[in-house]
Amino acid sequence: MDAYVALEGGRVVEARARAPGRTRGELVFTTAYTGYEESLTDPSYEEQVLTFSYPLVGNYGVRDERLESERVHPRAVVARELTDDVAEWLASEDVPAVDHLDTRDLVTSIREEGAMKCGIAAGEDVTPEDALAELAECKGMSEHVDIGKQVSVDAPTVYNADGAGADVALVDCGAKGSIVESLVERDATVHRLPYDATPADIEAVDPDLLFISNGPGDPKNFQAAQSLVTEFAGEIPLAGICLGQQVIADALGGETEKMAFGHRGVNQPVRDLRSGQVVMTTQNHGYTVADPGPLSVTQVNVNDDTPEGLESEDLGVITRQYHPEANPGPHDTLGFFDDVLAMTDVGARAPVVAD
């Protein structure tokens, strides 16, 4: 073996190096069995080490049109078996990757002990001590409080400038490309703004809807986005996905907390409390809303009753903890985009079908 994964607690797991390098991060897992291209380019995985629970990753290659951002975001990738296509892609991105280890055992450890820090060393002449040294560095690191800077656009970007639908100010805390696409498909004009946008930036757009995106890490690290929510709640309709739900809840007087191992996968069941309907959803988050504050919980996770949907008619707020745009995953909840656009004066428009 030419790779080692050092786990909190002192255990070191041997593996095979598929893309060389040494790194460290929080070890998390996803249960998704397709959509590895989308998962690997999801900014929500920034600074984490992603373990795939499905045994084979890469059986349909790598296609640029499936990517959710411009680069791979996990610090490293762990799998039971990686195909050459994916391994070569990760190597080209300078992202260490290892396989030929028991990922079932790793996933069980995470589920029992929670997400944990790890160190990885992969390549020629590496030793277990190299991985342990990376772990020691990781233990001494605090969570990156300015992580938004690593995943957000540097300057405002406009999509579908001539759209006949709503003007949406999308605060990019690590937004997936599919969120932009889902809004543009409904003929919205999307103004994608940096994570640290100011109230003046929002006023310059004069949007019909303020949308807080998904993203990595602790929602309390996104103070600028919380300030926007506080400033415009009740004046402009508000929507949020994943981290966006947490940011909005925190800003309006609620509370968020870190979960033991989070929700990551494409088969998370969510129940709507009004209709009783259960839908399958795509999720990727390590924090959750513990107290919704002035917002009403409208949807919950069937497995653990954590809030999956928050709303306030008085404040004009609709949020979802899961990813309605999916990619990868089921499209049971795409109607969320119709619902949030319906809050605007422009209203919802039917998705534009490409020729």
Asked if residue 246 belongs to a known ligand binding site, the reply is yes
CB neighbour list of residue 43: distance below 8 Å, 6 or more residues apart:
68, 69, 73, 151, 174, 175, 176, 214, 215, 216
Q: CA–CA separation, 237 vs 82, rounded Å?
A: 44
The verdict on domain 148-341 having CATH code 3.40.50.970 is no
Confirm or deny that 322 is annotated as ligand binding.
no
What pLDDT, in 10s, does the model give residues 63-72?
999 999 999 9
286 is in an annotated binding site: yes
Residue 142, annotated ligand binder? no
Q: Kindly write down the DSSP assignment for every residue of 305-331, as one continuous string.
A: --EEEEEETTTTEEEESSBTT-SSS--
What pLDDT score does 140 carry? Answer: 64
Annotated catalytic residue, options 81, 191, 242, 285: 242
Contact 290, 255 (CB under 8 A): yes
CATH topology of domain 3-139: Glucose Oxidase; domain 1 (3.50.30)
Q: Is 45 annotated as a binding residue?
A: no
223 annotated as belonging to a binding site for a ligand? no
pLDDT digits (tens, 9 = 90+) for 202-251: 999 999 999 999 999 999 999 999 999 999 999 999 999 999 999 999 99
pLDDT tier, 353 (very low <50, low <70, confident <90, very high otherwise): low
- Residue 174 is assigned to a ligand binding site: no
> What pLDDT, on a 0 to 100 scale, did the predictor assign at position 86?
98
325 is an active site residue:
yes
CA separation for the pair 95, 74 (Å, rounded):
8
Under 8 Å between Cβ of 52 and 38 = no
Q: Where in the chain is the domain with CATH 3.40.50.880?
A: 148-341
**DSSP-based three-state secondary structure for 240:** strand
Give the residue-averaged pLDDT of 283-287.
96
What average pLDDT does the chain have?
Answer: 95
For tokens 């919704």, what's the residue? 292
Q: Where in the chain is the domain with CATH 3.50.30.20?
A: 3-139
Peptide bond into 128 cis (omega under 30): no
pLDDT tens readout for residues 287-326? 999 999 999 999 999 999 999 999 999 999 999 999 999 9
Q: Model confidence over 86-96: pLDDT tens digits?
A: 999 999 999 99
Kindly name the residue from 8, 38, 46, 325 that is annotated as catalytic: 325
pLDDT at 352: 64
> Is 285 among the catalytic positions?
no
Look up tokens 């809807």; give the residue: 209
Q: What is the pLDDT of residues 195-204, one digit of tens each?
A: 999 999 999 9
User: What pLDDT does residue 345 have?
Assistant: 87
Instruction: Name residue, tokens 């003007």.
Output: 167
293 CB-contact burial (10 Å; exposed 0-12 / middle 13-18 / buried 19+): middle
331 a catalytic residue: no
Tens of pLDDT, residue by residue over 142-186, are 666 789 999 999 999 999 999 999 999 999 999 999 999 999 999
